[in-house]
Structure 1
Amino acid sequence: MSQRSLDPLSHATLVYVAPRPGSSGVSDYADDMLIEARGAFGHVVEIRHGGAGQDSVRDVIRARRAIRAAVRAAPGAVVVHAEQSGGVLVPFWGLAQRAMRDPRVIRSATLHDAPLGVWLPWRTRGIGRSRLLVHALHYPTMPLSRALERRVLSGVHLSALTASGAEAITAELGHGPVAVSFLPPPARPVLPPAPQRPLAVGLFGYVYKGKGFQDLERLRVLIDDRIAIRVAGRGTELLPPVPGVEILGGVEGAQEDAFFGGVRAILLPYGRRSSYGPQTHVASSVAARAIAYRTPVIALRYPGLSDEAEIVDGGIDELAAAVNRLVLDEEAMARLDASVRALGERLTVPEAFRRLATSWRAALPAA
């Protein structure tokens, strides 16, 4: 009898609920997890959906039906796993249905924006067209939505991508235990060591509140003129121009390789992202992408960020001072380069999947 046949996952079906490929950092993570899942499970069914605010009521209903159909068609035990984040609706409402109470079903979710799974549970595509309506629906109903979330996620095997996020989930939702995993860096080409790259730093990622793009002008004033500042990512092309800052817009493939090859460090000037509820514990897809390219990260202290970044206490002034101190110092850059290379060797996709699958194996009956 083979080792695989002894694994309970090899006799089970995985129904995997996640954003469509190419839509977000969460979808990139999902694509990596699916590669591992197909080698572990007997059968895998993908239910892919839109990003935050992109799905209509009809889309949510259609996805719920697809999840139910996949569960009913499965010949044995089923793991229904959802990648939950922000205002994405399908993963949350997909778990919130009677069919998920089948004793054959193990419900599971990774909360990417811990300590909550869904922050804006009523923001469909239509409602999202009106900022006023989004606020009018969600702000007064926060107590209701938190109570609903606690009920829906009761009995769900939860995981977080940071240790502090797992602790916050337990405190906020009264849920435990919560498994701890991490956001693995994707496979990327080998670049020259950071100290050998152009004298520049970068900001990278999708533009939204709390990512620090609004501080570009202040950063340019404070960072040494010898250090260039480059910015790339979805939505950055819409940022107002800042003299002395190169704004590239969205980059993929060879353009993304060139961007990371053209900076010695990535900056994360993160701040509070939402007025709704508790502080998020970020599992930064930008940090994961930087580690993939073996690019050091210099970040303001923020819940969830830890050993994947050089942490700076304070605000933008202190972050800029750290950039001037570190990026212009060859010995400091050599230390950061060695650290990020060690992280890249340790934080692998197979290890992230192993942590996720441990709770599934424990919950499923032995083959």
Structure 2
Amino acid sequence: MHIALLAPLPPEQNGIADYAGHLKLALQKLGVQISTPLAGIGNDPHEAERHVAQIHWQGIDLVHAELGGGRLAEFHALRALRQRFAHLPLTATVHDPERLVWRRASLPWPLSIAGKLPSPLPQVATVLSDPLCLHEERQVARGMTRLVTLTHAGSAALRERMGLAQAQMAVIPHGNLDIAPLPLPPLEPLRLLYFGFIYRGKGIEDLLDALADCISAQPALRERVRLTLAGGSEPEMAFGPSGSYLDELRERIGQLGLSGSIDWQLDLPAEHIAPTIQAHHVMVLPYRESSKLKLLGKLRGTSGALSWAVACGRGAITSDARSFAEEVAHGNGMIFPQGDVNALSQALSTLCANPELARTWADRAASLAKERVWSRTAERFRQLFELACEGDN
């Protein structure tokens, strides 16, 4: 089987590139031939369309794309492919359901004029143009052979919003690296970990406030619990109009009296990710859903960081944003209402009072990790591709 993969790939530094890279390698180990016809064009939708028009697609059995993360090149390539080849099997993993891409490459005239005007006029123009974007997304979605989501909640949301047939849908959970299990560290001090890109909107302030409240209510916890903030701090994400987000976090940590309770591990090399996660007891992901995206739909994706927790055999405390509730519904953690600092503080207090929970969650995560190793995940994709090529719609 010869598949064309449309996706960002390493060394690009984002979660979808990592996902696509692991999937590509795992499929190749199963004997699937993979081509990457859009390699090197970045996220340029017009260049993607030009490549589709110029490339000879003979010998390609199926085209698979990774959609999400604000990228548009793959979406435009799929649209151009369906226009050019009515019967070519097209599949995609949709990382940010209930939509495919959430935005157009450009606003239609006269709304395009607002793009150069002060805020909030560009945002208003985006909302006003959304019916056109949604129409284009539905056209592409309905022309796809299969659409894969990482969770059942994401699948249901995508199917309903795009108006799809059940036969077009498939759920394949996020694949995991096959990481050797490692026992939990001693339960005291309890080591909590935030892992992921560090930028505004991830709810990190909620986590700091909740930890401060927890310690304020039980001062003895100051010596018994530590929090590590680890992950990427790319300048374009960590800096913004209001200055350095990292500096803001450090200032907030000082104001909350947490300076002695926080560790930092920024920009971890890939080989240090698993050892860092396994040096902790529980991952905490306090994400909040974007208030801007709420105007356009419900984001029902999951998290690469959460898949790392599973792969490393560690439980998680997460907000109920996205599809996180489904991901920790296997006995591998607990959820709290997003943005509810008191509820997060109570969850942390519960864990501190019952540290054996970390061991229970870790055992369940380790079992889940065995089911989701990339070799098994790739086999599920291979079977899906075979059905798509057979025309089993």
Task: Compute the TM-score of the two structures, normalised by the length of structure 1.
Answer: 0.83
Letter in 1 for 2:74: P
Q: Is the 8 A contact 1:179 1:356 kept in 2?
A: no
What secondary structure sits across from 1:139 in the alignment? helix
Q: 1:152 aligns with which of 134, 140, 145?
A: 140
Q: Which moves more between the two structures, 93-102 or 179-188?
A: 93-102
| Number of the residue aligned with 2:214 | 223
Q: 1:64 aligns with which of 38, 44, 49?
A: 49
Q: Does 1:356 align with 2:375?
A: no
Q: Which moves more between the two structures, 184-193 or 155-164?
A: 184-193
| Number of the residue aligned with 1:5 | none
Q: Does 1:312 align with 2:312?
A: no
**How has the CA–CA distance of structure 1 residues 37 and 116 changed in structure 2, closer, same or farther, with 3 Å as cutoff?**
same
**How has the CA–CA distance of structure 1 residues 292 and 299 changed in structure 2, closer, same or farther, with 3 Å as cutoff?**
same
Letter in 2 for 1:329: N
| Residue correspondences, number | 345
Letter in 2 for 1:138: T
Q: Is the 8 A contact 1:202 1:231 kept in 2?
A: yes
Q: Is the 8 A contact 1:79 1:107 kept in 2?
A: yes
Distance 1:230 1:131 in 2: 35
Q: Is the 8 A contact 2:27 2:379 kept in 1?
A: no
Q: 2:282 aligns with which of 265, 278, 281?
A: 265
| Number of the residue aligned with 1:192 | 183
Q: Is the 8 A contact 1:327 1:333 kept in 2?
A: no
Q: Is the 8 A contact 1:194 1:263 kept in 2?
A: yes
Letter in 1 for 2:175: P
Matches within 5 A, 1:1-367: 10=1, 13-21=2-10, 22-40=12-30, 43-46=33-36, 47-48=38-39, 55=43, 59-70=44-55, 72-75=56-59, 77-97=60-80, 100-103=83-86, 105-122=88-105, 135-156=123-144, 157-177=146-166, 178-188=169-179, 190-193=181-184, 198-224=189-215, 225=222, 226-235=224-233, 238-239=245-246, 240=248, 241=250, 242-243=253-254, 244=258, 245-276=262-293, 277-305=296-324, 306-308=326-328, 309-314=332-337, 315-365=340-390
What secondary structure sits across from 2:334 in the alignment? strand
Letter in 2 for 1:227: V
| Number of the residue aligned with 1:7 | none
**How has the CA–CA distance of structure 1 residues 198 and 271 changed in structure 2, closer, same or farther, with 3 Å as cutoff?**
same
**How has the CA–CA distance of structure 1 residues 66 and 246 changed in structure 2, closer, same or farther, with 3 Å as cutoff?**
same
Letter in 1 for 2:210: L
Task: Compute the TM-score of the two structures, normalised by the length of structure 2.
Answer: 0.78
Q: Is the 8 A contact 2:201 2:288 kept in 1?
A: yes
Q: Which moves more between the two structures, 195-204 or 220-229?
A: 195-204
Distance 1:28 1:248 in 2: 20
Distance 1:158 1:102 in 2: 18
Name the % identity: 21
Letter in 1 for 2:134: R
Q: CA deviation at 1:328?
A: 4.5
Q: Is the 8 A contact 1:312 1:318 kept in 2?
A: no
Give ranges in structure 1 of 5+ residues lacking alignment: 1-9
Distance 1:282 1:154 in 2: 20
Q: Is the 8 A contact 1:14 1:79 kept in 2?
A: yes
Q: CA deviation at 1:60?
A: 2.5
